[in-house]
A and B are shown apart, each in its own frame.
Chain A
Amino acid sequence: EAQVTQNPRYLITVTGKKLTVTCSQNMNHEYMSWYRQDPGLGLRQIYYSMNVEVTDKGDVPEGYKVSRKEKRNFPLILESPSPNQTSLYFCASSLGPTNNEQFFGPGTRLTVL
């Protein structure tokens, strides 16, 4: 089954404790992206990757890191999480810029205390 998976689905952590949210897709997509969704603010893009080893900042990259060492995986790293990073996070993938039908993962609900 074609899908985007994220882990963990739910996470409660404390300020400053480094964490990684994993994202994996099995569709051989070149493009992957991370979003956060907050009430009243909608979906905002954090980082995106056009292919292996190629990433770029979205609208809200501060406090986040990404890497794309393999085509299927695109982890989101929070080196020192803060309470304002409490949010619902989505990973997405698509074939590429000329076919931007993005497939979204199920979401990761992160709470930073």
Chain B
Amino acid sequence: EDQVTQSPEALRLQEGESSSLNCSYTVSGLRGLFWYRQDPGKGPEFLFTLYSAGEEKEKERLKATLTKKESFLHITAPKPEDSATYLCAVSNSGYALNFGKGTSLLVTP
């Protein structure tokens, strides 16, 4: 059975303090690993898809990386507007998505 574990559950950073979120996974035949951002009361918003170990993608202050067992979402010099819950998900079929429970990030000024 596919499993996705995200850590930490919650993270508090000061503005400008870089850090990383972790997503550990077990899946039989990875078809894709996805990162989403979710603001309170809203639907998740797509950030990245990673398909194979060694792949990296960047968007503004965010960079996602992938190994055979885990993915990291690196946040460089975060701003208060980066505060959100970050969700990781994996797919082994391209259709069914298995989400982790998320990391709640708070960036204080």
In chain A, positions 21-47 with a C-beta closer than 8 Å to chain B are 31, 33, 35, 40-45
In chain B, positions 17-43 with a C-beta closer than 8 Å to chain A are 31-32, 34, 41-43
Cβ–Cβ contact B94 & A106, under 8 A? no
Cβ–Cβ contact A100 & B96, under 8 A? no
Tell which of B42, B46, B101 touches A102, judged by Cβ atoms closer than 8 Å. B46
Residues of B within 8 Å of A104, CB to CB, are: 43-45
Distance A48 CA – B87 CA, assembled complex (angstroms):
19
Cβ–Cβ contact A50 & B101, under 8 A? no
Q: SS class of chain B's interface: helix, strand, loop or mixed?
A: loop
Instruction: Decide yes or no whether A75 CB sits under 8 A from chain B.
Output: no
Contact with A along B44-55 (1 / 0, CB 8 A): 111001000000
Cβ–Cβ contact A101 & B46, under 8 A? yes
Distance A56 CA – B98 CA, assembled complex (angstroms):
15
Distance A96 CA – B89 CA, assembled complex (angstroms):
16
Contact with B along A84-113 (1 / 0, CB 8 A): 000000101000111011111111000000
Instruction: Decide yes or no whether A59 CB sits under 8 A from chain B.
Output: yes
Which residue from chain A places its CB closest to the CB of B93 in the assembled complex? A97
Residues of B within 8 Å of A45, CB to CB, are: 96-99
* A90-B97 contact, Cβ under 8 Å, with A43-B87, A101-B49: no
Tell which of A4, A31, A50, A107 touches B41, judged by Cβ atoms closer than 8 Å. A107
* A100-B43 contact, Cβ under 8 Å, with A45-B96, A58-B96: no
Which residue from chain B places its CB closest to the CB of A44 in the assembled complex? B99
12 residue pairs bridging A and B, Cβ less than 8 Å apart? A42-B99, A43-B44, A48-B95, A90-B43, A97-B91, A100-B49, A100-B91, A102-B44, A102-B97, A105-B43, A107-B42, A107-B43
Q: Closest 7 CB pairs between A and B?
A: A97-B94, A104-B43, A42-B101, A43-B99, A101-B46, A104-B44, A90-B43
Chain A residues in the interface with B (C-beta under 8 A)? 4, 31, 33, 35, 40-45, 48, 50, 56, 58-59, 90, 92, 96-98, 100-107
